[in-house]
A and B are shown apart, each in its own frame.
Chain A
Amino acid sequence: MSFLLRRAGFYVVAFVVAAIFNFLLPRLMPGNPVDIMFAQAGTVLPPESLEALKATFGFVDGPWPVQFGRYLASVFTFDLGLSVRFHPLTVNAVLMQALPWTLLLVLTSSLIAFLLGSALGIRAAWRRGGAFDSFGAPAALMIQAVPPLVTSLVALFVLSIRLKWLPTGYAWAPELDPGFTPAFIGSVLVHAALPILTLVVAQIGGYLVTMRNSMINLLGEDYITLATAKGLSDGRVRYAYAARNALLPTVTSFAMTLGATFGGALITEIVFNYPGLGYTLYQGITARDYPLIQGQLMLMTLAMLTANFAADLLCLALDPRLRRA
């Protein structure tokens, strides 16, 4: 229990640090922070909305602790202000519209990459030095060196523009009405296929190599030899004894790399005009929509912390030693 409490305390600290960044940055820039942040907003928003927006970011009368307190209060109640680019929507509304699409890409691709990569990693470690291992492990590392930006550009050009197998953009065919109809769901899946494929390629190598390495380290342990000597089946030793323990580093890194995966998803969405967070954010960046850009940092940090917390819980379930510590 104290393990979880310690972690929870750390997450609050991390969240506040991200908020401090957002609070300080406009104030560190040369010139008047209000001018910097709301230059665009002033031309779009009516005066009373602009005042409300400034208050959200702590631009109120008073010394800076008061301003910071005001800002923290709005962040912790998840009041992120008004979007400038998507006026009159709030940043919250804009982000929440986009979030499900990004989650669809990130979660599906992570799951596929995790299952496939770990399975291949187990295979490579079990016959280490064999044909699959000596080809697969370096190949996985090479694939990892390819940035998602390049993978998505190549996939877009070859599979959608040249071969015309898959659509070049958007989340569903525009002539369909959103709803739980087979045609609509099918369209969503077809449109998500390429972004997901790109993200799986970006992640799979990492899972393969991590799993392979931690398996190889474990296979030399005495308890594996004992399990084999007891006459347990190969499959039992491989999965119930070696793979279960080897999963621990993978689970931790799963959470840590989620930030990178979100980053990759942002890029992929922009290349495929996919209406998730990345694409929305891209439009926000071009319009210098600071409330939106700052809001996404808080949302992404929150997503990272949630994932880390989930990983903590999973580690707790997999590793009984943590429960006693």
Chain B
Amino acid sequence: MRAFFTSLLANRKASIGAGIVAFFLALAVFGPLVAPAGPNQRVGRPHEAPSATHLMGTTRMGRDVLAQTIHGTRTSLLVGLSAGLMITAIGTVVGVTAGYLGGRVDEALNLITNVVLVIPNLPLMLVLAAFIGAASPATIALIIAGTAWGWGARVTRAQTQSLRNRDYIHAAELLGEPTWRILACELLPNLVSIIGFNFIGSVLYAVVTEATLEFLGLGDALKVSWGTMLYNAQTTSALQVGAWWEVACPCLALVLFGSGLSLINFAMDEVANPRLRTLRLKLRAMA
């Protein structure tokens, strides 16, 4: 475990990725302190090009693009992290339970997992979001978590099954350890790296998906986030009138944050058990 983290820290890709992610986390926490203006404050004329006073220009409504992006970081990251956490939690509980208990329970859980996997996510989320109406960021996080836990559960189940028949698990069973203790103290530590992959991939997926749903007009357009910024830019035809800066800043934030997470994932893959390589399938499914 210790060696895993030591070699992870020595990896250059990992440190660059961690640096990027840390930067955005800091921006989410302290952003409102350093932002040049409030998120909904009119500071200039509509669609002013980038200049010294407005580093990334202004929107159609005369709001500072950079300031909006900085304020939006908090919402986007909050949704990403909370949805990522929920996806990982559901996936881990379902995967470990199915993989360890086997039999009927496994069959039932596996069927549910496969159904979740095969029903296309975005169309399903569109139906959910359309009925809910202007969905708040918290609702969006719940919708994302409820529809996207399938991959994590499948991979965790497979790994649990392969650990299930190791000698040390049998030994623990013969010693009479209670099931919860075997799950929590014997199995879970050996699943840490797979859970880590699941978490990072899920956060990336959630941030992108939130932006996509809001871009489609299914979010609450008054809450400033990267997605609603793109939605407002699209509805005011910012690109068509040449105001590229209104789109550039949130796009850059999405790409940079995503690259940071992928770098960490890639480095973890290099360090960890080569058997875990299949997890890349998960990342690509989310692309």
Contact = CB atoms under 8 A, between A and B. Distances in A.
B216 A270 contact: yes
Contacts of A210: 280-281, 284
Nearest to B204: A145
Interface secondary structure of A, over-half rule: helix
B286 interface: yes
Interface stretch (B42-50, B79-87, B110-118): B110-118
A278 B280 CA distance: 27
A232 B92 CA distance: 45
Interface stretch (A72-80, A222-230, A233-241, A259-267): A259-267
B-side interface mostly? helix
B230 A149 contact: yes
B240 A168 contact: yes
A189 interface: no
Interface residues of B, number: 53
B211 A147 contact: yes
Contacts of A253: 281, 284-285
Interface stretch (B95-103, B177-185, B257-265): B257-265
Interface in A50-72: none
A301 B258 contact: no
A311 to B, nearest CB: 11
Contact of A260 (B247, B258, B286): B286
B121 interface: yes
Interface string A3-26: 000000011011001100110011
Interface stretch (A86-94, A154-162, A171-179, A180-188): A154-162
Residue in A36, A149, A267 whose Cβ sees the most chain B Cβ within 10 Å: A149
Interface in B206-255: 208, 211-212, 215-218, 230, 234, 239-240, 242, 244, 247, 251, 254-255
A206 B281 CA distance: 7
A260 B285 contact: yes
A306 to B, nearest CB: 11
Interface stretch (B61-69, B124-132, B163-171, B191-199): B124-132
A25 B133 CA distance: 13
B119 interface: yes
Contacts of A249: 278, 281
Contacts of B111: 10, 13
A147 B216 contact: no
B287 A144 contact: yes
A257 B281 CA distance: 9
Interface residues of A, number: 66
Nearest to A26: B131
Contacts of B89: none
Contacts of A150: 251, 254-255
B130 A290 contact: yes
Contacts of B217: 282, 285-286
Nearest to B241: A161
Interface in B17-76: none
Given A13-B111, A144-B287, A147-B254, A301 B119 contact: yes
A297 interface: yes
Interface of A: 10-11, 13-14, 17-18, 21-22, 25-26, 29, 36, 138, 141-142, 144-150, 153-154, 156-157, 161, 168, 202-203, 205-207, 209-210, 213, 217, 249, 253, 256-257, 259-260, 262-264, 266-267, 270-271, 281-282, 285-286, 288, 290, 293-294, 296-297, 300-301, 303-305, 308
17 contacts: A10-B114, A11-B118, A17-B119, A36-B131, A149-B211, A157-B239, A253-B281, A253-B285, A256-B117, A259-B121, A259-B122, A262-B122, A267-B216, A285-B217, A297-B119, A297-B123, A301-B118
Interface of B: 13, 111, 114-115, 117-124, 126-128, 130-132, 204, 208, 211-212, 215-218, 230, 234, 239-240, 242, 244, 247, 251, 254-255, 258-259, 261-263, 265-266, 274, 277-278, 280-281, 283-287
